[in-house]
Amino acid sequence: MLMPCEVAVKCVLPVIRSALTKKLTQEYGLTQIETANLLGITQPAVSHYLRKARGNALDLEQDEEFSCLIREIAAMLYGKDASSQEMRLKVCSFCETIRGKGFMCGPHRHLEPELTKECRTCLT
């Protein structure tokens, strides 16, 4: 039995990191190493995200709230306007929003096929 946070770590967090790497490198002009340092990941991980070899379990780019939050987090990271604690809370809140919209249901059922369609854990 997978808990929603486990699914989020496998599916949602990589999507968030992928969107942030794209934003930081393309719009802010950061190098892969600079982006990796800001996100606390490796440069090869940044490369994987940019090539869509990682972080493509969900397509959230069309969701306006997702795009707005990515812009906000990227600006906070780039400007170093937030503490690590504030960033953790922002990303956790972001993940809760994604869960609450039901975006994780498909990947959760894929990872745990015995999960029933009546599951509403993330939506409550």
Encode pLDDT of 60-116 as tens digits: 878 888 899 999 999 999 998 778 888 888 888 888 888 888 888 888 888 888 887
Question: Residue 36: pLDDT above 80?
Answer: yes
Q: Please state the domain extents for the chain.
A: 4-114
∠ CA 92-46-17, rounded to 5°: 15
pTM of the predicted protein model:
0.87
pLDDT of residue 71: 93
